[in-house]
């Protein structure tokens, strides 16, 4: 969802930048375009890093829960057989 948001912001920016170039000149348009590229690119990368960490943490938590459940079941089965 966040990738789509960044994509929409990039599309909006590409709709705005020609007007900036026409009104204030190519130099300002080029400079602001590079700044926006760095900002949006940084946001995109940071969001993907956060998402990757979130997924990794969630998978680890699910694996930990699974292991705990299996250990509890094994302990209960072993206790009942004794």
Confidence of residue 79 (pLDDT cuts 50, 70, 90): confident
Over residues 60-67, the mean pLDDT reads 82
- Position with higher pLDDT, 33 vs 61: 33
pLDDT per residue as tens digits for the range 14-59: 999 999 899 999 999 999 999 999 998 888 888 888 888 888 888 8
Q: What percent of the chain is helix, strand and coil (3-state, nearest 5)?
A: 95, 0, 5
pLDDT at 81 over 80: no
| pTM exceeds 0.75 | no
Q: What is the pLDDT, as a whole number, of residue 28? A: 92
Question: Encoding tokens for residue 14?
Answer: 């590409």
Q: Roughly how many angstroms between the first and final C-alpha of the chain, as a whole number? A: 53
CA within 13 Å, CB half, 70: 6
| Residue 82 pLDDT > 70 | no
Q: Are 82 and 41 in contact (CB under 8 A)?
A: no
Sign (positive/negative) of CA torsion 21, 3, 47, 45? Answer: negative
């Amino acid at each position: 969802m966040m990738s789509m948001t960044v994509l929409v912001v990039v599309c909006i920016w590409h709709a705005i930048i020609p007007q900036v170039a026409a009104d204030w000149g190519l130099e300002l348009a080029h400079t602001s375009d590079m700044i926006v590229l760095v900002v949006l690119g940084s946001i995109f990368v940071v969001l993907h890093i956060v998402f990757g960490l979130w997924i990794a943490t969630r998978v680890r938590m699910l694996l930990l829960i699974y292991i705990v459940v299996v250990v509890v079941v094994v302990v209960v089965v072993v206790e009942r057989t004794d």
